[in-house]
Amino acid sequence: MTKPAIIPFDPATPMEPWDDFAEADVVSGSRKQNGRVLFEDKARGLSAGIWEQGANESRWMDYPVNEFMTVLEGEIVIVEEDRTLSVKAGESFIIPKGLRCRWTQPSHVKKFFVIHEDASGLANKGPLHAMKIDPKVTLAPSTPPAAAMLLSPVPTQHGHDYFTDATGQLNIGVWDTTGYTRKLIDFPRHELMHLLEGSVIMDDGAGTVQTFKAGDTFFVPMGTPNSWKSEDYLRKIFVIFQSKA
**Residues 68 and 155 placed together within one structural domain of the fold:** no
**233 falls within a domain:** yes
**40 falls within a domain:** yes
**5 falls within a domain:** no
Span 151-177, mean pLDDT?
A: 98
Cα distance between residue 181 and residue 229, in whole Å? 4
Check which CATH number belongs to the domain holding 16 and give it: 2.60.120.10
pLDDT of residue 53 exceeding 80, the answer is: yes
**200 falls within a domain:** yes
**4 falls within a domain:** no
Whether the pTM exceeds 0.85: the reply is: yes
**Residues 186 and 227 placed together within one structural domain of the fold:** yes
Taking only the tens place, the pLDDT of each residue in 74-91 is 999 999 999 999 999 999
Q: How many domains, in total, are found in the chain?
A: 2
**3 falls within a domain:** no
Domain boundary among 132, 152, 171: 132
In Å, how far are 46, 111, 123, 217, 223 from 118, measured between CA atoms? 8, 21, 9, 24, 22
φ, ψ of residue 44 to 5 degrees: the values are -105, 0
pLDDT of residue 245 exceeding 80, the answer is: no
Taking only the tens place, the pLDDT of each residue in 1-12 is 789 999 999 999
**Residues 18 and 115 placed together within one structural domain of the fold:** yes
